[in-house]
Structure 1
Amino acid sequence: MKKPSSKIREEIARLQDQLKQAETREAERIGRIALKAGIGEIAVDETQLQNAFEEVAATCTAVLILSSGNGMGDGVVSLANRH
């Protein structure tokens, strides 16, 4: 049975609200971590900071893939000693 357009709009609005809430939680989490790491005290251009975060994200993604690639890893990896 097809949904009427009004129900679809309601569902889209609900999903958009859920997305906004999830993005807010994620931003707050990343922000807390960044502040603990001292990022807030660094005078750096926002573009440079975004590029650095993208590099960190790529590194974390690669490490997670490697850690779980053989089916034995749980996807939780310490990056503390990686340089």
Structure 2
Amino acid sequence: MKKPSAKIREEIGRLQQQLKQAETREAERIGRIALRAGLGEIEETALLAAFEDLAGRFRESEDQASGRKNAGGSRPAGTTPAVVEIGAAASGDSEA
């Protein structure tokens, strides 16, 4: 039996709400872990570059595990990952 379009729209709306709640929980979890690791003190652009590099490493390891080559790489060929220093060296403080 086919569902009427109104029922499908209701289901889509309910699923979108569930997705939003799940993403919020995941973001809060990742945020708590990042704060415990001291990432809250790093400049946003450097932090974003580091996260992109980290995601790329995970994608590469997944691709290698599945035997895929060049599958879904987000970084253009020939670019290098950003290096992010943590601690006093990252903030420029030289109180040591």
What is the TM-score with the length of structure 1 in the denominator?
0.66
Higher gyration radius (CA): 2
CA distance in 1, matches of 2:17, 2:45: 28
Q: State the number of aligned residues.
A: 67
CA distance in 2, matches of 1:2, 1:69: 38
Match of 2:61 in 1: 63
Q: 1:53 aligns with which of 45, 51, 54?
A: 51
Q: 1:48 to 1:24 in 2, by over 3 A?
A: same
Match of 1:76 in 2: none
* Superposed CA RMSD: 1.9
Match of 2:16 in 1: 16
What is the TM-score with the length of structure 2 in the denominator?
0.58
Q: Percent identity?
A: 66
Gaps of 5+ in 2: 68-96
Higher relative contact order (CA 8 A, sep 6+): 2
CA distance in 2, matches of 1:33, 1:65: 26
